[in-house]
Structure 1
Amino acid sequence: MLKSFRRFLAVQVGAGLTLAAVGFMPAYAADADVVATVNGMEITEGDLAVAGEEYGAQFGNLPEPQRRAALLSALIEIRLLASQAEEKGLADSEAFAKRLEFLRQQALHAAFIEKVVDGAVTEEQVRASYDKQIAEAPAVNEVRARHILVKTKEEAEAIIKQLEEGGNFEEIAKEKSTDGAAANGGDLGYFTSGQMVPEFEKAAFALNPGEHSKEPVETQFGFHVIKVEDKRAKQPPAFDAVKDRVRSLLVREKYVEEVSALRDAAEVDVKDPALKEFIDGIEKQREGAASGNGDAAEPAKSE
């Protein structure tokens, strides 16, 4: 069940885009508070918050005092260089105007995601989506097993004989197994179908709890003697453990719906035929994602 649920959570990015999760524009309670001035130009808490979003990857691991200092230092440099750029007339170029317009539209894009897309997904919808996927996911069994790995069939047969004569599996594993789990008595923990090589998996799932294999099990790693400790139905992940990922998926789906509706209503004319073909492919992926039959394309991340 967990594997099926992870497949539900995994979102394939058809167009090579990523979610603007850190591109949203939160409101800042004290954004007007002045932190510093540079030649009379104010730097506020709001400026620091915006810079924190932009430079989060660089300064996110710093303790808060150092992080604030690093952000403030970066903003001071930006103010100083921006002032020099204006004095030199760099703000008057066509290239600058285009860049400024792009940044304006990018900010509006992020605001739309926050207010219209992200804001439309409720806690109730997240819970309902989780419950639906859990209910529809097929049951998955898992096995907890130990094993003893040796190089030859003869060694494995000797170990099986030793077990039949009352030998302790854990102690023999610690003494003779060449696998990394030997120190833990050969304990591999719980695993589901598909997590082990086929020969090992088939043998383990055929045993009942408390039983060990009566014949050596050969795999690409050598010869195994397997003991099953427990079998059980695998439990799905708890809601609190995955709710953020479920919510992210719903936000992505909402984004696809909004973009698809806007594109359908818009007149978009792509001049280059080859480029148009590629764009049409992206649109088909979007439509499939919106209907649940394809890979989800996501909002572009603000750089």
Structure 2
Amino acid sequence: MPSSNRRASLIRLSLAIMLSSGAGFAAYAQDAKPAETPPPAAAQPAPKPAPDTVLAKVNGQSITEADLDLAIEDLDQQFARLPEEQKRAAALSAVIEIKLMAAEAAAKGIDKDADMQRRLAFLQQRALHAAVIDKEVQAKITDDEIRARYDKEIAAQPAENEVHARHILVKTKEEAEAIIKDLDAGKKFEDIAKEKSTDPGSGANGGDLGYFSAGQMVPEFEKAAFALAPGTYTKTPVQTQFGFHVIKVEDKRAKQPPAFDEVKDQVRSLVLRDKYLALIKSLREAAKIQIDDPALKKSVEGMEAPKP
């Protein structure tokens, strides 16, 4: 934790207040234009200053690199499209405005207002809540834990069968039967689909639906498709809520689970969620929590009840 943590925490609180009140520095970020001429390809970014490096002062109060990092983190949506240097300039301008307005608020006694005191206390608690997640939950997740979760819940799953199919959708059974006769006579499936299919999504592509697995299509369609051998088509129309289909299967395959590196971040999120829930459960059980409003108590208890 950098030595400027106390000042950084104050900046975080001020940023949240400014965001909640529609602060004027957002206009700076909106009006700022990305640099028109990119730097030369060979140019290397300047080394990042140390966290306690003083970048500016406002009436004697220092603004450090750590303060700037907090501003950029909290205001990321406003600054996301800006090049790095413009982002830093916009963030510094925001912190300067915050310090000036915070000093003005203190001079007018706004910081002593009861509503403001409650807001500041809540924002501090929210920041501490996030810090516990960062330091006591997220930072302690190991690659071995993530890998074990992947092996148990993803890699261990059996391969999923998939079908690559085409279809021709028409309104009546008679139309579908006529199409089957054309296919029997040697006409190409793709050509008929482009000409007669009423499915706007696949008709222009020769009826191609790509690969799909169980549960992705309506039951009648899915049953017929999975029953076909590759290279064959349905000999009778398949009726669904959309109309009458003639289905051709191009290929079948067993889809393997995704590789670890492809889903590592998603698995980490699952581990983080479960660790957070375990921590909050233990804290709730050890705490004395009293909700006086009966209706609100019932609603909260309903939300917290374990799902069957």
Instruction: Give the TM-score taking structure 1 as reference length.
Output: 0.78
CA RMSD of aligned residues (A): 2.3
SS at match of 1:230: strand
Alignment identity in percent? Answer: 61
SS at match of 2:288: coil
Counterpart residue number, 1:118 = 138
SS at match of 1:194: coil
- Higher RCO (CA-CA < 8 Å; seq separation 6+): 1
Q: Deviations over 1:36-58 (max 9, x none)?
A: 33333322221121112221222
- Cα distance in 1 for partners of 2:238, 2:82 equals 51
Counterpart residue number, 2:218 = 197
Counterpart residue number, 1:184 = 205
Identify the range of structure 1 (213-222 vs 132-141) with the bigger mean alpha-carbon deviation. 132-141
Q: Is residue 77 of structure 2 the alignment partner of residue 57 of structure 1? A: yes
Q: Is residue 181 of structure 2 the alignment partner of residue 161 of structure 1? A: yes
Q: Is residue 115 of structure 2 the alignment partner of residue 89 of structure 1? A: no
SS at match of 1:167: coil
Counterpart residue number, 1:216 = 237
Counterpart residue number, 1:142 = 162
Counterpart residue number, 1:206 = 227
Counterpart residue number, 1:226 = 247
CA contact 2:159–2:257 (8 Å) conserved in 1: no
- Summarize the Cα distance change of 1:178–1:275 in structure 2 as closer, same or farther, 3 Å threshold: closer
SS at match of 1:232: strand
- Cα distance in 1 for partners of 2:57, 2:155 equals 57
- Cα distance in 1 for partners of 2:207, 2:121 equals 63
Task: Count residues with an aligned counterpart.
Answer: 261
Q: Match of 2:235, as an amino acid? A: K
- Summarize the Cα distance change of 1:282–1:155 in structure 2 as closer, same or farther, 3 Å threshold: closer
Q: Is residue 260 of structure 2 the alignment partner of residue 239 of structure 1? A: yes
Counterpart residue number, 2:119 = 99
Based on CA coordinates, which of the two structures has the bigger radius of gyration?
A: 2
Q: Match of 1:141, as an amino acid? A: N
Which of 264, 270, 278 is the equivalent residue of 1:257?
278
Counterpart residue number, 2:34 = none
- 1:203 Cα offset (Å): 1.3
- Cα distance in 1 for partners of 2:252, 2:290 equals 59
Q: Is residue 86 of structure 2 the alignment partner of residue 48 of structure 1? A: no
Counterpart residue number, 1:19 = none
Q: Match of 1:272, as an amino acid? A: D
- Cα distance in 2 for partners of 1:78, 1:60 equals 20
- 1:204 Cα offset (Å): 0.8
Q: Deviations over 1:187-208 (max 9, x none)?
A: 1100112211222112111111
Q: Is residue 94 of structure 2 the alignment partner of residue 74 of structure 1? A: yes
- 1:29 Cα offset (Å): 6.9
Counterpart residue number, 2:302 = 281
Q: Is residue 121 of structure 2 the alignment partner of residue 109 of structure 1? A: no
SS at match of 2:305: helix
Identify the range of structure 1 (114-123 vs 32-41) with the bigger mean alpha-carbon deviation. 32-41
Instruction: Give the TM-score taking structure 2 as reference length.
Output: 0.77
Q: Deviations over 1:224-265 (max 9, x none)?
A: 211001112222222222111111111111111111112222
Q: Deviations over 1:86-113 (max 9, x none)?
A: 1112223333333333232222222211
- 1:116 Cα offset (Å): 0.9
- Cα distance in 1 for partners of 2:166, 2:304 equals 50
- Cα distance in 1 for partners of 2:304, 2:174 equals 61
Q: Which runs of 5+ in 1 are unaligned?
A: 1-22, 289-293, 295-303
